[in-house]
A and B are shown apart, each in its own frame.
Chain A
Amino acid sequence: MRKTASGRRFFRHPTAAPGLFLLAFFVTVAIAAPVVAPYAPYYQIDIAHPDRPPSAQFLLGTDPFSRDVWSRLVYGARVSLGIGAVAMLVAATVGTAVGAVAGYFRSWVDTTLMRLVDVGLAMPRIFVLLMAAALWEHIALWVLVLLIGLTGWFGTSRLVRAEVLSLREREFVAAARALGAGAGRVIFRHVLPNAAAPIIVSGALGIGHMMLLEAGLSFLGLGVPSPTPSWGNMIADGWHKMAVAWWSSTFPGLAISLVVMALNAVGDALRDALDPRKEAA
């Protein structure tokens, strides 16, 4: 693989390479779950003897429902990582669309959209999601993911709007317009590709926030429904037995911490690597 200037800038961060490795590890483990997990995630091994400590047979012990923690961790990685990624995709799409439209067209469109963003930023996300959970008895998983995404796009829209505001004054935009390109084409093919860097960086950091939010909701019992394993509801399953069986809640939380930390490290490194100002220098 070619050594580029941005690649060098990325790896100059001491936490970038370990972060990338951690992410690769968890993603691989999640994809290869059926191979890596010795037990099925719903399988209750020995109901008479739950809460077994970590041993050679049960790498991370068993939980209060007598299921293997390591197997659930591995299948839970699919759910938690998947929710984080898809929710971030939703948020990034909506945020970019709103921000680009607001930044490009300005005038009343910009003002109304940004007022909307202000209202959205003012409402604490967890309360909005709690209210939604209260209104509907059982939230389907895809609805949950959609809600988490739809409450998280406000920051991205501000970022994109700022980028588009500065980019729209550049010569290549004027040139494209002079050649007869319509607004949509200008935005999609000319402005947005140059605004990609902050979107990618906020995307990397945002997946971490989404995962933490899902964990919090599942901990309160309002997220991923049992018995589907997610790292958040694994903590919820085990926390009442924390005093006698600390492993059920500790390891999922550790997994979340490591993945979010890796995402933060990679996001920081990406921010430096993709910075167009450094590119010019």
Chain B
Amino acid sequence: MAAWLVRRLVASIAIVFAVVTISFFVVHLAQGTPCGGERPLPPDVCERERRVFGYDKPLYVQYVKYLAALVDGKMGYSFGLHRPVADALADAIPNTFVLAFAALLIDFALGLALGIYQAVQAGRFGDVAVGNVALLVNSMPVFWLGLVLLLVFAQWLRWFPAGGMHDPILCPRVDSSYCLLDFLWHLTLPALTLGLVGAASTARYQRAAMLEVVGQDYVRTARAKGLRERRVLLVHALRNALLPIITLFGLAFPFLFTGAVLIETVFAWPGMGRLAVNAIFQRDYPVVTGAALLTSTMVVLGNLIADALYAVADPRIRVRGEEGGGGGGA
């Protein structure tokens, strides 16, 4: 078990390293513009700026300096925001985290419930109906669903606010229970949008997992023992059907961060996604690569955690992992 985990850790570090290198080259490729282009700066100004930022040193020196700065936690300076990139990201990331976490909650709560319901009703109208609705929701562009929910619930019904994270006048900070409620009120629609689309695919997986488990012998034994059907399903079957959920948890990370980019734009949520999009329009490359770097790292981390959790939950993986540890192939 330990050997397998170490191998995965090394592989993850290698992946992050590759992403860092790619990001470095993106930044390096992009900064040629002020000295070339249509209206170049005077050559002596150009030279001085290059020396100040260290762009005149050879490539590998810049690369090492970039890595050293990263280890230090510094990701460069944002031209558009006039602050260090790390600070801007540090302000934005918690907002994205909260959104992603709320969406995950809705995703798994709704998805698990629907998946179990579908498995219980297998083949009957409930199963088919939920399945088709889930198929439709899963096929929607996530930002379009957000727009439609905005239209219906914020514009027509006026139940929820039309965007933003907080009331700018009354609650610039969450420092009272009223402001907490205000924050949750603003959080509802964006989290619901991401959560619904995620729940649609979670329900499909959960349904398949439950149906596979229900055919197993130990379920038949439990029924033969005379246990009530609800206990059979919720205690014996569910525990084993939950295993794929851990993998889904790992898969959810990339979806959430990708979806966050679009949803934050639609709902004007001040998170990392919106920061990255604005930076792109302003050609603020340090911010863009910083955000991409962080997102990739979190995705890799999420997958690693999911794999580790899966190994803990399913003893079969551990045994298999040790047996296959000496051999080849991933």
**A interface list, Cβ under 8 A from B:** 14-15, 106, 110-111, 114-115, 118-119, 122-128, 130-131, 133-135, 208, 212, 215-216, 219-222, 232, 235, 239, 242-243, 246, 249-250, 253, 256-258, 260-261, 263-265
Contact = CB atoms under 8 A, between A and B. Distances in A.
A122 B296 contact: yes
B95 interface: no
A220 B265 contact: yes
A14 B132 CA distance: 10
Contacts of B279: 134
A124 B296 contact: yes
Contact of B292 (A131, A232, A235): A131
B291 A127 contact: yes
B299 A220 contact: no
A123 B294 CA distance: 10
A131 B276 CA distance: 10
B141 A215 contact: yes
Nearest to A256: B141
A257 B292 contact: no
A137 B140 CA distance: 29
Interface stretch (B142-150, B209-217, B312-320): B142-150
Contacts of B276: 127, 130
A249 B19 contact: no
Given A124-B258, A135-B29, A264-B139, A130 B296 contact: no
CB-CB nearest 9 A-B residue pairs: A253-B144, A260-B139, A261-B139, A127-B292, A257-B140, A134-B280, A119-B18, A122-B15, A126-B258
A119 B15 contact: yes
A108 B84 CA distance: 42
Interface in B231-287: 254, 257-258, 261-262, 265-266, 276-277, 279-281, 283, 285
Contacts of A208: 139
A219 B262 contact: yes
Given A122-B299, A235-B144, A256-B141, A246 B151 contact: yes
Given A123-B19, A124-B254, A134-B285, A242 B144 contact: no
B309 interface: no
Given A131-B292, A235-B143, 12 more contacts: A15-B132, A122-B299, A123-B299, A131-B288, A212-B141, A215-B141, A235-B144, A242-B147, A242-B150, A243-B155, A249-B147, A257-B136
Interface in B136-190: 136, 138-144, 147-148, 150-151, 155
Given A124-B296, A253-B147, A265 B135 contact: yes
B62 interface: no
A122, A220, A253, A264 pick with most chain B CB within 10 angstroms: A122
A110 B330 CA distance: 10
A222 B11 contact: no
A199 B4 CA distance: 30
A244 to B, nearest CB: 9
Chain B interface bracket (under 10, 10 to 19, 20 to 34, 35 or more): 35 or more
A24 B157 CA distance: 37
Contact of A134 (B11, B18, B138, B288): B288
A235 B141 contact: yes
B300 interface: yes
Contacts of A125: 258
A246 B139 CA distance: 20
A127 B285 contact: no
Contacts of B330: 111, 114
A215 B254 CA distance: 18
Given A15-B135, A130-B288, A253 B140 contact: yes
Contact of B143 (A219, A250, A260, A263): A219
Nearest to B16: A122
Given A122-B299, A256-B144, A261 B135 contact: yes
Contacts of B289: 131
A153 B128 CA distance: 32
B98 interface: no
In this complex, which of A131, A215, A246 has the most chain B Cβ atoms within 10 angstroms of its Cβ? A131
